[in-house]
């Protein structure tokens, strides 16, 4: 059974805005998929449905064998904990340390009485430090997150997403704010982690060349419609 199973997904934000129109998409375990499309084509909306952050107007969204679009409460939270999400703007808490940001990705981390003070079991701290080592930022653990470069902040966000041992990783334009060199680093890191951990990845991008060189499979969106679904191998820009 596919890890992601989307059928006939339509999302209307209003009478005039159909963000997704009858989208069908199945993704198998371990696949690395890029959603490719211009700004406004529906990439974020599709990713947010996979994570249960949006409710379909029509159609169904299944993730890890569960009907996301019909879950709520604890069941939805449980499913979301198996799906990591990284964002274009990283969404770190700038004044907190890098380590605290990573820890905030764990269910067991509790915000303490003073803002910014997290309490957590020692095992979680070891786990967070292990993830920081994986993303090459162990030496930055006690630095404020907002002192890091954009590429480093996105790597911290990846470490944070790993705290819940996700089976699926969703990334919404993860390198859109980064320079080319940091972009390559972050994309390579995502692939490496996905391969090691056996993650299924769906990542939105708008850069055609990067998408072709990075993905296993390219899914193209235009005005909310799925207009392309093909292996990345052998594609060239002219196609």
Residues that bind ligand ADP (CB under 6 A): 13, 17, 19, 37, 39-45, 88, 173
Q: How far is the CB of 58 from ligand ADP (least distance, A)?
A: 15
Tokens of 158: 């990846």
Distance CA 62, CA 4 (A): 6
Q: How far is the CB of 41 from ligand ADP (least distance, A)?
A: 4
Tokens of 18: 């159909």
Q: How far is the CB of 221 from ligand ADP (least distance, A)?
A: 7
Distance CA 46, CA 63 (A): 13
C-beta closer to ligand ADP: residue 16 or 126: 16
Distance CA 82, CA 11 (A): 24
DSSP annotation of 185 reads H
Give the residue from 126, 181, 193 showing the smallest Cα distance to 157. 193
C-beta closer to ligand ADP: residue 67 or 220: 220
C-beta closer to ligand ADP: residue 42 or 151: 42
C-beta closer to ligand ADP: residue 10 or 143: 10
Tell me if 181 sits within 8 A of 14, measured CB to CB: no
Q: How far is the CB of 222 from ligand ADP (least distance, A)?
A: 10
C-beta closer to ligand ADP: residue 197 or 225: 225
Q: How far is the CB of 173 from ligand ADP (least distance, A)?
A: 5
Tell me if 36 sits within 8 A of 56, measured CB to CB: no
């Amino acid at each position: 059974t596919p890890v992601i199973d989307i059928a006939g997904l339509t999302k209307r934000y209003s009478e005039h805005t159909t963000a997704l129109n009858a989208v069908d998409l199945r993704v198998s375990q371990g696949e690395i998929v890029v959603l490719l499309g211009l700004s406004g084509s529906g990439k974020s909306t599709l990713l947010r449905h996979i994570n249960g952050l949006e409710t379909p107007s029509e159609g169904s969204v299944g993730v890890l064998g569960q009907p996301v679009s019909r879950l709520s409460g604890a069941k939805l939270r449980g499913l979301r904990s198996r799906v990591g999400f990284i964002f274009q703007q990283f969404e770190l808490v700038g004044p907190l340390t890098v380590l605290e940001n990573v820890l905030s990705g764990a269910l067991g981390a509790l915000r303490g009485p003073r803002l910014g003070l997290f309490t957590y079991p020692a095992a979680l701290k070891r786990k967070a430090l292990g993830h920081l080592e994986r993303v090459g930022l162990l030496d930055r653990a006690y630095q404020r997150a907002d002192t890091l470069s954009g590429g480093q902040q996105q790597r911290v966000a990846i470490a944070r997403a790993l705290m819940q041992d996700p089976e699926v990783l969703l990334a919404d334009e993860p390198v859109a704010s980064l320079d080319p060199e940091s972009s390559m680093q972050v994309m390579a890191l995502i692939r490496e982690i996905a391969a090691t951990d056996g993650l299924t990845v769906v990542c939105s991008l708008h850069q055609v060349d990067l998408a072709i060189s990075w993905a296993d499979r390219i899914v193209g969106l235009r005005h909310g419609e799925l207009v392309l679904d093909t292996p990345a191998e052998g594609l060239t820009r002219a196609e």
